[in-house]
Amino acid sequence: MGNAGRNLEAAQPQYQASQLTWDKIAESKEFKDLMATKKTFIVPAFIFFVVYYFALPVLVGYAPQFMSIKVGYLNLAYLFALSQFFVAWIIAGLYVRAANNFDRLAEDILNKAEDAKGGK
């Protein structure tokens, strides 16, 4: 691992807890809400991308006349194939933005667990 990786590990200490503490965290309403929030983004994004990705071979196979329509120098099939790169990057960007929120929620959960552990 390079220096950047070592510096990152030093800057972000890992949360250490017993199995009982992790079980309490997993059973908490906040954790269940976090998992539900993640699911509301990940499942629709995954379904959209899979449908979008497999639409190209399906359309080329079942609607070749439509996909061969020229748009400038390219046909629709080539434009659709190129658009898949952009769609993948857009979904990745949206996930990064959503993941920042997920990280904040997870940090709040861990802070609350730390406070409960320290209060014992």
What are the tens digits of pLDDT across the range 86-96? Answer: 999 999 999 99
pTM score over 0.95: no
Residue 115: band (very low, low, confident or very high) from pLDDT cuts 50, 70, 90: confident
DSSP code per residue over 70-118: EETTEEHHHHHHHHHHHHHHHHHHHHHHHHHHHHHHHHHHHHHHHHHHH
Whether the pLDDT of residue 45 is over 60: the answer is yes
